[in-house]
Structure 1
Amino acid sequence: MTERTPLISGNWKMHHNHFEAIQVTQKLHYRLGEHDYSKVGVSIHPPFTDIRSVQTVIGADRMKILLGAQNCHAEEKGAFTGEVSAPMLAKLEVSLVIVGHSERRQLFGETDEVVNAKVKAVLAAGMTPILCCGETLEEREAGEAETKVATQVRAGLDGVAADAVASMVIAYEPIWAIGTGRTATSEDAQAMCATVRSVVGETAGAAAADGVRIQYGGSVKPGNIAELMGQADIDGALVGGASLDPDDFASICSYQD
């Protein structure tokens, strides 16, 4: 079995201007030490307007925090007003890009096909996609959670080479737990993340399933991170609201202390 280094990612969504972003990044850096980075990877995903400022402070202070983005367009360039391409992000030393977050799917109409195109664009630019999947409360109550998630994973990985899949991150985020304060039980989260790994195995083979890192997301906090991370198929967390506070996020990243 491959030793998968856990990855804790902070999705800032539409929060923090670039001045605030610099301060939050610096405070997070001061809270984390070498012992933390030896156990876990840490990424932050600020708004597009913050990325250059955060890149500069990470580079100047030689931080081990990974720089991420929240989204990208599938095309390299073109007449797409307001969009940002994967190669543009790569030039800013972005290493991870969130793709297919439920808010992108629900609020902006991103289809499985669009998400798949973005996965391929991120990989082509030399970055790592964090492919998101998750079900609504209605789908869970109807017994359709596994089918919904499996469909999203299969579609997101369609046409992606097995070795590339092995290098990816997949984030399972039950939509009913995002920003609601509700968290899936550790058993439910484990069961769904195990389903994701099984689907990856069916789609891309055993080596890809063994290598891919699977995050849980949905009201992750300092108080529940250790129990979630104790599950066999959970290799990290995609953190929303709690990542906006550097103290809370540092506590989440230091869950093994």
Structure 2
Amino acid sequence: MEPAREPAPPPLTPGNVPGVLAVFLALGLVHLAFVGLVGHRLGGGAVALAVAMFAAVLIVAGASLRAHYPHPRLGLCNAVTQLRAALVAVIAVPLAAPGVLEVEPGLAWSVVSLAALALALDGLDGWLARRAGLVSDFGARFDIEVDALFALTLALLVAQGGKVGLWVLALGVLRYAFVAGARIWPWLAAPLPESRARKLVCVIQIASLIAMLAPPVGGGVAVSLAAASLALLIWSFGRDVAWLARR
């Protein structure tokens, strides 16, 4: 006699919401701890910026859970993505104090270290989701949007520091320009196939922005890194747009 099969896990329901909120609350406390580490010397405005950014991520993520998450638990995979979002919000703290990274190398290295940690965690969430059977449209989109916010935050910090001109912001806004374009041309919103090249370009983009924030990296090197990264990013988006246009 065959053993009885376990029933399929139910979708996320209102009864699961307290558990979801508990996870988000715990990650919020982790975020506040990071804010205290980096932003305590920069005043209430800097801390408020990080808290507001992280709260916005929580609200947007929570709103899309019901529509796009079919599993009964969030799992470690989504917790890792949320932790990355918390790190990004802390990395944004110096935006409230223009020029602080140039006069405080120690703080600049702290930001570089936290950014490197956030980049190192990229990809772990997807691996954990596949391992636990928790792959979802929500998790994939959540990861992409955290990456986009990460790149924009880093680009703003680099532009603020003056090593590269304002054109470096293109490294942070191309993703949002692509999304805006999809509102005008809906065919741009069609699903794209998996691409290792696209993922590699994203890693190079973010790693280059992190390197530009390191105190030893001068303006000449930073400009070269930014130009090379932007060329790769334009190629990557251009390739995706061409693929979508052909279909």
TM over 0.5: no
The alignment's TM-score, normalised by the length of structure 2, stands at 0.26
The alignment's TM-score, normalised by the length of structure 1, stands at 0.26
Structure with the larger helix share: 2
Higher-RCO chain (CA-CA 8 Å, sequence separation at least 6): 1
Larger Rg belongs to: 2
